[in-house]
Chains A and B, each alone.
Chain A
Amino acid sequence: MSSDKTDKQYCKCSEANCYCDKAQYNEVKDWEREQLISHLDKCPKCKDYSERNKKLTELFNKAQLTTLQEEERKELKRLLQQNLDK
């Protein structure tokens, strides 16, 4: 079927977006990157998503967010609980 051939050469938008997301975490495989690039050449909507996604990653990097570790969180909970019980 011709559609099978098309699918192999040109991935779906949902797949392209997934590859784009993986690329933000450097977890995209080479063949996925190739499909993504090929898809973005022809799909303006996904190209927009990709550009916005990259900006989002830049913002997260800029914000330098950090979270408490699970043990630190438990310690805080213990402290609160001890003082709640007083």
Chain B
Amino acid sequence: MAENTHQINPDQWVDEYSDYLFNYAIVRVNDREIAKDLISETFLAGLRSKKYFKGEATERTWLISILKRKIIDHYRKINSKKGQAEVKINYTEEDQEGEWLEEKVADNFEQSAEDNLVNNELGAAIYDCLDKINPKHAQIFKMKTIDNFDTEVICNEFGITPSNLWVIIHRARTALAECMEEKWLK
């Protein structure tokens, strides 16, 4: 019988998974505030159902599965509102029959959905690799590369010199390149 080794630890959720979940959500909903709300709802739902966590998947996979449901619920709400709006548009102008806003939006969505899928897969790969490197290096790397903080600000925050910072950035980049080599850098 397979041993269920994964533990649940809500105290660490924000530090360990919030950025990953946030990127997952923002790629799909394209709105920072909505993405934040979805993460809050995901964590609360996770807390409510933590007794059902069997440890067969990682905490992150489990939280992602909750987030996916939250995103689907979000789109259901939007679509039901949009559906009502469409009916109104459709019945106000008879000669506009067939000029469905929905169809035009759907075409754009197809295009962006494909891009989003690649971006999301790439984002997940980057976060997976960041999880594997020294946590302090990962944090400094994220501040420098993703948040675009000035070198001086990061050095003050961590009490390091600019030389130290560039050594850390170099180690992080080398480790990330090795981690992403096979699938993304060849």
Contacts and interface: CB of A to CB of B under 8 A. Distances in A.
A74 B64 CA distance: 21
A56 B26 contact: no
A72 B25 CA distance: 15
Contacts of B173: 21, 24, 53, 56
B143 to A, nearest CB: 8
A17 B170 contact: yes
Interface string B14-26: 1100110011001
Contact of A76 (B26, B39, B126, B184): B39
A73 B13 CA distance: 10
Given A21-B169, A76-B14, A66 B180 contact: no
Contacts of B13: 80
A52 B126 CA distance: 15
A1 interface: no
Looking at chain A, what size class is its interface with the partner chain? 20 to 34
Interface in B1-58: 10-11, 13-15, 18-19, 22-23, 26-27, 32, 36, 39-40, 43-44, 47
A56 B179 CA distance: 11
Contacts of A63: 119, 122-123, 126
A67 B170 contact: no
Contacts of B166: 18, 21-22
Contacts of A64: 27, 119, 123
Contacts of B26: 66
Interface stretch (B74-82, B88-96, B98-106, B144-152): B144-152
Contacts of A66: 22-23, 26, 32, 146
A36 B142 CA distance: 25
A25 B147 CA distance: 12
Interface of A: 17-18, 21-22, 24-25, 27, 52-53, 55-56, 59-60, 62-68, 72-73, 76-77, 79-80, 83-84
